[in-house]
Amino acid sequence: MHNSQKLKEITVFIADYASVLLGSGVHCTRVIRNSKRICESFGLDIKMTVFASSIILTLTDPVEDEMCTEVVVIPQVPVSFELNAELSALSWRAHDNPVAIGELKAEYEALLAKPRLDSWVVTFMVSLANACFCRLFDGNLGAMAVVFVTTFIGFRFLRLLKKNRVDHFLAVLLVSFVSSALASFSVFIDSVDANIAVATSVLFMVPGVPMITGVIDILENHTLIGFARLMRAFLIVLCLAVGLSVSMVIFQKGLL
Amino acid sequence: MIEETLIRAVCAAVAAMGFGAVSNPSRRSFPVIAVLAASGYALRYVLMQGGGLDIATATLLASMLIGFGSLWLGKMIHSPMTTLYIPALLPMVPGMYAYKAVFSIILFMQNLGEPTLASVYLNDFFLNVIVTVTVILCMTVGASMPMFMFSRRAITLTRNRKKH
């Protein structure tokens, strides 16, 4: 049994929980399932409508015959698989051992406050990853070294642009141009497969996560948000290709 | 062939961990991501080079291996399947085909006055788009298949995950 104020408090919490989960790159069905699991621990029913940029949810107390609706904007947060797993686990803990809303909120806040991987470690790992990716496209050691350096510079530049709140699409376009332009200088080094180095220098920005979650959403009948994710991924690839093509036209007098 | 497969498997493992690092996975999931990516990519390479399969079929089978692996290993580390299989699939995302499709549009527009060249670029565009879409579909369907087949197990992977 809940009074109106308590129902409102739980609704606001679930709205925030669901929006953060969706913003963290979780597919729709899991967001709905996890939110439902927490609501059931409070003896409540939930109905959710999920759009690409907002969520509408209504919680119902079947005993008191009360309901509360909330509309929440999905925050633009970076994808976090750890948060994804931890918030899922939180819903199971609430389901298996129901606790008061205050306690659940405190645990939720603690999870949100957990630091992400160190930015320089991530930069190093992404650079190494892209260098290895270059090898998968038959690049030689010289090309791998060039891709490592250009990815390192490009990824730091991307971070800087994001920090200064530059639009994501513009940032991808600029970074794609800078990374591929730097890689273009490898044409002067005989031991480097310059074409492979230039082509793979921007691949670290290919939006693999929205591409995959978009298809999962479509397969699970959340077609609208699935297409929205795929469209965003397509626009990122478009910006990436435009940045790359500009540098190729300038530095190599032609596209691949 | 064996040596090249092993080198590619290691490269795919490093690529998956690196690209996955952007999406902030938990530290304990890194070894699992590496194993899944290496085995999936190696299987796809062997099927394409040794078995003569096309990229879509090979990707579908490799993704199924990654999907079943994430279901099995996800239970051990109490992580959702998607947090393991999405980074492991990243080395197989056809990024090169995707932006070659965009190049083809640019080149098509630049050569509208020359019908022969324009039709070559239009052909390139459709080729690259079809490969990109088919491979992404095969990747996702293959990796998600275990989620639909063993849905009960898949949705309870994070149950009993310890607090950190």
- Dump pLDDT digits (tens) for A64-85: 888 999 999 988 888 889 888 8
Contact flag A126-B161 (C-beta cutoff 8 Å): no
CA distance B75 to A47: 29
Question: Percent of chain B scored above 90 by pLDDT?
Answer: 52
Cβ within 8 Å of B, A 184-223:
199-200, 202-204, 206, 208-209, 211-213, 215-216, 219
| Nearest Cα to Cα of residue A23 among A195, A213, A245 | A213
Contact flag A88-B80 (C-beta cutoff 8 Å): yes
Shortest alpha-carbon distance between residue B58 and chain A (Å): 16
What pLDDT is attached to residue A2? 54
Contact flag A206-B93 (C-beta cutoff 8 Å): yes
User: Which distant-in-sequence residues (6+ apart) come within 8 Å of A238 by Cβ?
Assistant: B102
Contact flag B21-A136 (C-beta cutoff 8 Å): no
For the stretch B134-143, pLDDT in tens is 998 999 899 9
Q: What string of pLDDT tens digits covers the 256 residues of chain A? A: 457 888 999 999 999 999 999 988 888 999 999 999 999 999 999 999 998 889 999 999 988 888 999 999 988 888 889 888 899 999 999 988 888 888 899 999 999 998 888 999 999 999 999 999 899 888 889 889 999 999 999 999 999 999 998 999 999 999 999 999 998 888 888 777 878 888 888 888 988 888 889 988 998 899 999 999 999 998 998 898 889 888 888 876 655 5
Question: Pairing between strand A66-73 and A45-50?
Answer: unpaired
Range of lowest pLDDT (A231-235, B13-17, B73-77, B108-112) = B108-112
- For the residues B155-163, what does the mean pLDDT come to? 75
The answer to whether residue B46 scores a pLDDT higher than 90 is yes
Cα separations in angstroms, A110 against A15, A115, A183, B127: 17, 10, 42, 49
Q: Is the Cβ of A237 closer than 8 Å to some Cβ of chain B?
A: yes
What pLDDT is attached to residue A186? 83
Q: How many CA within 13 A on the CB side of residue A217? A: 25
CB < 8 Å to A27, chain B: 82
CA distance B143 to B64: 5
Adjacent-strand bridge partners of A60 = A45, A67
What pLDDT is attached to residue A158? 94
For the stretch B84-99, pLDDT in tens is 999 999 888 887 888 7
Q: Do residues B93 and A214 lie in contact, with contact meaning Cβ atoms separated by under 8 Å?
A: no
From the number of C-beta atoms within 10 Å of its C-beta (0-12, 13-18, 19+), residue A218 rates as buried
What pLDDT is attached to residue A253? 62
Q: Is the Cβ of A132 closer than 8 Å to some Cβ of chain B?
A: yes
Shortest alpha-carbon distance between residue A137 and chain B (Å): 9
The answer to whether residue B15 scores a pLDDT higher than 70 is yes
| Mean pLDDT taken over chain B | 89
Ranges of each domain in chain A: 4-112, 119-252
What pLDDT is attached to residue A170? 95
Query: Which parts of chain A are beta strand (E)?
Result: 45-50, 54-61, 66-73
Contact flag A129-B15 (C-beta cutoff 8 Å): yes
Q: Is the Cβ of A33 closer than 8 Å to some Cβ of chain B?
A: yes
What pLDDT is attached to residue B94? 85
Adjacent-strand bridge partners of A47 = A58
